[in-house]
Amino acid sequence: MSLTPTQPVQLLSDYSPYPFVLSQTRLDFTLSPRGTRVVTELDLAARNQITDLVLDGGKGLTLESLAINGTTLDAAHVSRDDETLTIAAAALPQGGFTLQTQVLIDPADNTAFEGLYQSGGIFCTQCEAEGFRHITFYPDRPDVMTTFHVTIRSDLPVLLSNGNPVSAGNGVAEWHDPWPKPAYLFALVAGDLKAVSDSFTTKSGRKVDLNVWVRPGDQDRAGFAMESLIKSMKWDEDVYGREYDLDVFNIVAVDDFNMGAMENKGLNIFNSKLVLASPETATDTDYERIEAVIAHEYFHNWTGNRITCRDWFQLCLKEGLTVFRDQSFTGDMRSAAVKRIEDVQTLRARQFREDQGPLAHPPRPDRYEEINNFYTATVYEKGAEVIGMLKRLVGDADYAKALDLYFDRHDGDAATIEDWLKVFEDATGRDLAQFERWYTDAGTPTLKMTEDWNDGTLSLTFTQSTPATPGQPDKPARVIPIAVGLIGPNGDEVAGTQVLEMTEPTQSFTFDGLATRPVVSALRGFSAPVMLDRQMDNATRAFLFAHDTDPFARWEAGRELAMSALVDLAQGRDAGAGYVHAIGALLSDGTADAAFRALCLALPSEDSIATRLAALGITPDPDAIHAARSGLALRVAETHQDLLASLFDRTEVTGPYSPDAASAACRSLRIAALGLLARIDGGQRAKVLFGTASNMTERMAALAILLRLGKGSAELQALYDEFGGNRLVMDKWFSIQPMAARPEDAVRIAEQLAQRDDFDWKNPNRFRSLLGGLAANHAGFHAADGSGYQFTADWLIRMDAVNPQIAARMSTAFETWSRYDDSRKTHALNALERIAGLAGLSRNTREMVSRMIAVGT
Ligand code: TRP
Ligand code: ZN
Does a structural domain hold residue 186?
yes
Q: Over the stretch 45-71, which tens digit does the pLDDT of each residue have?
A: 999 999 999 999 999 999 999 999 999
Amino acid at 354: E
Does a structural domain hold residue 575?
no
Q: Which helix H or strand E contains 598, and what residues bound it?
A: helix 594-601
664 in contact with ligand 1, CB cutoff 6 A: no
147 in contact with ligand 1, CB cutoff 6 A: no
Together in a domain, 77 and 163: yes
Question: Per-residue confidence at 5, pLDDT binned at 50, 70, 90?
Answer: low
> 3-class secondary structure for 434-470?
CCCHHHHCCCCCEEEEEEEEECCEEEEEEEEECCCEC
Over range 237-249, report the average pLDDT: 98
Residue whose CA lies nearest to ligand 1 atom number 3: 262
Name the percent of the chain lying above pLDDT 70: 99
- Dihedral of alpha carbons 51, 57, 58, 64, sign: negative
> What is the C-alpha to C-alpha distance for residues 130 and 480, in angstroms, rounded to an integer?
36
Together in a domain, 471 and 377: no
Q: Over the stretch 617-628, which tens digit does the pLDDT of each residue have?
A: 999 999 999 999
pLDDT of the residue at 823: 98
Together in a domain, 8 and 97: yes
> What is the C-alpha to C-alpha distance for residues 589 and 299, in angstroms, rounded to an integer?
38
Tally the residues of the chain.
Answer: 857
* Residue 354, pLDDT above cutoff 70: yes
Query: Which of 132, 133, 258, 299 has most ligand 1 atoms within 8 Å of its beta carbon, as the pocket-test mutant?
Result: 258
Over range 567-574, report the average pLDDT: 98
Does a structural domain hold residue 563?
no
Does a structural domain hold residue 480?
yes
Q: What is the pTM of this model?
A: 0.98
* Residue 3, pLDDT above cutoff 60: no
CATH number at residue 73: 2.60.40.1730
Residues 6+ positions from 699 with CB-CB distance below 8 Å: 689, 690, 693, 719
Together in a domain, 740 and 795: yes
Does a structural domain hold residue 500?
yes
> 3-class secondary structure for 23-46?
EEEEEEEECCCCCEEEEEEEEEEE
pLDDT of the residue at 442: 98
- Dihedral of alpha carbons 422, 423, 426, 430, sign: negative
Residue that terminates a domain, selected from 528, 559, 575: 528
> What is the C-alpha to C-alpha distance for residues 99 and 52, in angstroms, rounded to an integer?
13
Q: Over the stretch 368-408, which tens digit does the pLDDT of each residue have?
A: 999 999 999 999 999 999 999 999 999 999 999 999 999 99
Q: Which residues of 438-465 are buried (b: 16+ CB within 10 A; e: fewer)?
A: bbebbbbbebbbebeeeeeebebebbbe
* Residue 119, pLDDT above cutoff 90: yes
263 in contact with ligand 1, CB cutoff 6 A: yes
Together in a domain, 29 and 43: yes
Are 116 and 125 within 8 A, CB to CB?
yes
> What is the C-alpha to C-alpha distance for residues 395 and 605, in angstroms, rounded to an integer?
34
> What is the C-alpha to C-alpha distance for residues 207 and 201, in angstroms, rounded to an integer?
4
Nearest ligand to the C-alpha atom of residue 312: 1
Cα 799 to middle of ligand 2, angstroms: 25
Are 253 and 194 within 8 A, CB to CB?
no
Residue that terminates a domain, selected from 411, 440, 469: 440
528 phi and psi angles, rounded to 5 deg: -150, 145
Give strand ranges (E) for 170-237: 172-181, 188-191, 194-201, 207-214
Are 412 and 386 within 8 A, CB to CB?
no
Question: Per-residue confidence at 4, pLDDT binned at 50, 70, 90?
Answer: low
Count of other CB atoms within 10 angstroms of residue 81? 9
pLDDT of the residue at 198: 99
> What is the C-alpha to C-alpha distance for residues 199 and 856, in angstroms, rounded to an integer?
55
Are 834 and 800 within 8 A, CB to CB?
no
* Residue 1, pLDDT above cutoff 70: no
297 in contact with ligand 1, CB cutoff 6 A: yes
**Which of 819, 818, 822 has the alpha carbon at shortest distance from 853?**
818
Nearest ligand to the C-alpha atom of residue 274: 1
Q: Over the stretch 638-686, which tens digit does the pLDDT of each residue have?
A: 999 999 999 999 999 999 999 999 999 999 999 999 999 999 999 999 9
262 in contact with ligand 1, CB cutoff 6 A: yes
* Residue 414, pLDDT above cutoff 70: yes
Residue whose CA lies nearest to ligand 1 atom number 1: 262
**Which of 541, 524, 535, 484 has the alpha carbon at shortest distance from 507?**
484
Together in a domain, 378 and 508: no
Select which of 297, 370, 698, 815 is catalytic. Answer: 297
118 in contact with ligand 1, CB cutoff 6 A: no
Alpha carbon distances (Å) from 394 to 331, 421, 499? 21, 12, 11
Give strand ranges (E) for 442-542: 446-454, 457-465, 480-487, 493-502, 506-511, 519-522, 531-534
Kindly report whether the peptide bond that precedes residue 129 is cis, defined as omega within 30 degrees of 0. Answer: yes
129 in contact with ligand 1, CB cutoff 6 A: yes
Cα 382 to middle of ligand 2, angstroms: 13
Does a structural domain hold residue 710?
no
Cα 712 to middle of ligand 1, angstroms: 36
In ligand 1, the atom with minimum distance to the C-alpha of 319 is: 4
Helix (H, G, I), strand (E, B) or coil at 338: helix
pLDDT of the residue at 856: 76
795 in contact with ligand 1, CB cutoff 6 A: no
CB under 8 Å, gap of 24 or more: what pairs does 332-335 form?
A: 332/235, 332/239, 333/231, 333/235, 333/291, 333/661, 334/288, 334/661, 335/593, 335/595, 335/596, 335/661, 335/665
Cα 261 to middle of ligand 1, angstroms: 6
Does a structural domain hold residue 856?
yes
In ligand 1, the atom with minimum distance to the C-alpha of 297 is: 15
Cα 707 to middle of ligand 2, angstroms: 35
In ligand 1, the atom with minimum distance to the C-alpha of 304 is: 1
Residue that terminates a domain, selected from 402, 422, 440: 440
Domain count, the chain: 4
Average pLDDT taken over every residue of the chain = 97
Q: Over the stretch 264-308, which tens digit does the pLDDT of each residue have?
A: 999 999 999 999 999 999 999 999 999 999 999 999 999 999 999
Instruction: Show the domain range for 425.
Output: 308-440
**Which of 212, 209, 350, 343 has the alpha carbon at shortest distance from 288?**
343
pLDDT of the residue at 7: 87
pLDDT of the residue at 331: 98
Together in a domain, 146 and 20: yes
Cα 188 to middle of ligand 1, angstroms: 16
Nearest ligand to the C-alpha atom of residue 319: 2
pLDDT of the residue at 450: 98
* Residue 322, pLDDT above cutoff 60: yes
pLDDT of the residue at 711: 98
Together in a domain, 180 and 321: no
Together in a domain, 46 and 77: yes
pLDDT of the residue at 97: 98
Does a structural domain hold residue 849?
yes
Together in a domain, 426 and 337: yes
Q: Which residues of 207-231 are buried (b: 16+ CB within 10 A; e: fewer)?
A: ebbbbbbbbeebbebbebbbebbeb
> What is the C-alpha to C-alpha distance for residues 144 and 793, in angstroms, rounded to an integer?
39
Cα 260 to middle of ligand 1, angstroms: 7
Together in a domain, 14 and 146: yes
pLDDT of the residue at 590: 84
Residue 278: HSE in the Cβ half-sphere, 13 Å Cα cutoff: 13
379 in contact with ligand 1, CB cutoff 6 A: no
pLDDT of the residue at 32: 98
Helices first, then strands: H and E counts in the chain: 29, 31
Query: Which of 126, 127, 267, 293 has most ligand 1 atoms within 8 Å of its beta carbon, as the pocket-test mutant?
Result: 126
Residue whose CA lies nearest to ligand 1 atom number 11: 128
Residues 6+ positions from 814 with CB-CB distance below 8 Å: 789, 792, 828, 831, 832, 849, 852
Together in a domain, 34 and 97: yes
Q: Over the stretch 189-227, which tens digit does the pLDDT of each residue have?
A: 999 999 999 999 999 999 999 999 999 999 999 999 999
Does the annotation count 114 as an active-site position?
Answer: no
pLDDT of the residue at 629: 98
